[in-house]
């Protein structure tokens, strides 16, 4: 055998695309094991490079983790965009705006449950200084947070939400959905059966709509 699975021995001295390869390998690790699974030596091992090579592209393990986190956030945003795009066109602007918010919440929760590792990584605090918007957007160029904000704006525009209740609304919606996601994937609500989790999600979205 040449080396570890997926790490074919390179014939060129230079790798050519190391930085990106490291992030990809890191994503694999994070996917099955969360942020703690991102072991620098293992990442470089998978890419077929010596540990120190990573230091030519990242200041330290934390910097690599930050890049992986951005990529995870981008995947979340992408999943949300996809869900939005799949929404059937609606005539009623009110119902349309509501449907979009539901879709965003649904895809957020689904992503968290389908990819808990990525989700954990996306919101893990690697260290205090974070850029928060470096490249966390999806293909459409909007972050998850911005997608939510836009949907809420539409809700106001459609007349379903009084403008004076608009400020701070994303904090409430986001908190509720994020909270359930966290409690489900590694809080005390982990262990809930998929059906129960789904019901909790439905119940949550009802209350969000009422409380917004």
Partner DNA sequence: GCACCTTGTGTACGATGTCCACATTGCCGC
Partner DNA sequence: GCGGCAATGTGGACATCGTACACAAGGTGC
Stretch binding a copy of itself (CB under 8 A), from 40-48, 75-83, 90-98, 172-180: 172-180
Q: Does 113 bind a copy of itself (CB under 8 A)?
A: no
Which partner, a copy of itself, DNA, none, binds residue 41 by CB below 5 to 8 Å per kind? Answer: DNA
Q: Does 101 bind a copy of itself (CB under 8 A)?
A: no
Contact indicator for 100, 208 with CB cutoff of 8 Å: no
In degrees to the nearest 10, what's the CA dihedral of 56, 62, 66, 68?
Answer: 80
Nearer residue to DNA within complex by CB, 57 or 166: 57
Among 29, 68, 152, 177, indicate the residue that binds a copy of itself (CB under 8 A): 177
Sign of CA dihedral 52, 57, 58, 59: positive
Q: Does 188 bind a copy of itself (CB under 8 A)?
A: yes
Among 182, 193, 194, 195, indicate the residue that binds a copy of itself (CB under 8 A): 182
Among 12, 89, 125, 194, indicate the residue that binds a copy of itself (CB under 8 A): 125
Which partner, a copy of itself, DNA, none, binds residue 146 by CB below 5 to 8 Å per kind? Answer: none
Q: Does 189 bind a copy of itself (CB under 8 A)?
A: yes
Q: Under DSSP, is residue 58 helix (H, G, I), strand (E, B) or coil? A: coil
Q: Which of 113, 32, 25, 115 is nearest to 67 (CA)?
A: 25
Find all residues with CB under 8 Å of 139, minimum gap 6, and list them. Answer: 78, 81
Q: Which residues of 146-173 are buried (b: 16+ CB within 10 A; e: fewer)?
A: bbbbbbbebbbeeebbeeeeeeebbeeb
Cα–Cα dist 172/17, whole Å: 41
Window 131-150: contact mask with a copy of itself (x via CB under 8 A): -x------------x-----
Contact indicator for 71, 31 with CB cutoff of 8 Å: no
Contact indicator for 64, 19 with CB cutoff of 8 Å: no
Which partner, a copy of itself, DNA, none, binds residue 61 by CB below 5 to 8 Å per kind? Answer: DNA
CB of 125 to a copy of itself, least distance (A): 4
Tell me which residues touch a copy of itself (CB under 8 A). 34, 123-125, 130, 132, 145, 167-168, 171-172, 174-183, 186-190, 199-200, 203-204, 206-212
């Amino acid at each position: 055998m040449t080396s570890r699975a997926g790490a074919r021995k390179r014939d060129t001295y230079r790798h050519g695309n190391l930085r990106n390869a490291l992030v990809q390998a890191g994503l694999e690790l994070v996917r099955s094991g969360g942020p703690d699974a991102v072991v620098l030596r293992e990442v470089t091992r998978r890419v077929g490079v010596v540990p120190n090579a990573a230091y030519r592209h990242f200041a330290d393990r934390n910097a690599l983790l930050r890049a992986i986190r951005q990529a995870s956030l981008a995947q979340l945003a992408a999943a949300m965009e996809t869900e939005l795009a799949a929404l059937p066109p609606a005539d009623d602007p009110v119902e349309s705006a509501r449907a979009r918010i539901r879709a965003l919440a649904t895809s957020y929760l689904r992503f968290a449950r389908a990819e808990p590792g990525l989700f954990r990584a996306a919101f893990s605090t690697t260290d205090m200084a974070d850029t928060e918007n470096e490249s966390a957007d999806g293909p459409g160029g909007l972050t998850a947070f911005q997608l939510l904000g836009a949907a809420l704006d539409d809700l106001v525009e459609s007349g379903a939400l009084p403008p004076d209740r608009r400020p701070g609304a994303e904090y409430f919606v986001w908190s509720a959905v994020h909270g359930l996601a966290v409690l489900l994937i590694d809080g005390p609500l982990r262990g809930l059966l998929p059906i129960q989790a789904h019901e909790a999600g439905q119940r949550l979205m009802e209350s969000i709509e009422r409380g917004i």
